[in-house]
Structure 1
Amino acid sequence: MATKIRLARGGSKKRPHYAIVVSDSRMPRDGRFLEKLGTYNPLLAKDSEDRIKLDLDRAKHWLDQGAQPTDRVSRFLEAAGVREKAARANMKKAEPGKKAKQRATEKAAKAAAPAEAE
């Protein structure tokens, strides 16, 4: 069975509260899970100790059993010192496309042309 350590959403609309759970990868996000490892409340301040509560011994146990954490949960585990920090790909999503870059260079050239004429 392929297991994942992931977040299961709870709470009302616009007031999220997550449970950190171990579940079968085929189960839905908020569906059946094998074990609850902790909680995550994103509404609390980042320096609050109640923001993330996690049973590290059980998390280590599940990682040893082959459970794969999601990206967000792996960041929690890295911050707690359970996992080594993984190298992540920088996807350059914020970088403008080819046409936008071309328009920007043309606009800069037009702005520079009157300045040179004076």
Structure 2
Amino acid sequence: MVKLRLTRMGRKKTPFYRIVAMEALGKRDGKAIAYLGTYNPLVSENQVKINEEEALRFLSNGAQPTETVKSLLTKMGIWAKFEESKRK
């Protein structure tokens, strides 16, 4: 199963995350299928950049987001678009 989750980048005590699509049983920092965006929790606005088309494509093909990624998708409005496209 494919999951949308975070992989940690950055040096010690300065985390920076990539939002990736990867196999559920793979390692946290293992090889990803696709890189969908970035998340920087240390910036005051919690800077999030996500490739909306790619994220919607993976979600529509059955990828499951983790709780954290789902909350980021909700903040960006991508989750609402996915739910709307599911109803059609």
Q: Shorter-normalised TM-score: what interval?
A: 0.7 to 0.9
Point out where structure 2 has 5 or more consecutive residues left out of the alignment: 81-88
Ranked by relative contact order (alpha carbons within 8 Å, sequence separation 6 or more), the top structure is: 2
Point out where structure 1 has 5 or more consecutive residues left out of the alignment: 85-118
Distance 2:23 2:8 in 1: 16
Distance 1:10 1:80 in 2: 21
Distance 1:53 1:30 in 2: 19
Cα root mean square deviation, aligned? 1.1
Q: Percent identity?
A: 40
2:32 equivalent to 1:33: yes
Report the TM-score, using the length of structure 1 for normalisation.
0.65
Distance 1:77 1:18 in 2: 14
Distance 1:74 1:3 in 2: 14
Q: Report the counterpart of residue 81 of structure 1 in structure 2.
A: 77
Report the TM-score, using the length of structure 2 for normalisation.
0.86
Secondary structure of 2:54's aligned partner: helix
Distance 1:81 1:10 in 2: 25
Deviations 1:58-95 (A, max 9, x none): 000000010000001101111122224xxxxxxxxxxx
More strand per residue: 2
Distance 1:61 1:81 in 2: 15
- Aligned amino acid, residue 39 of structure 2: Y
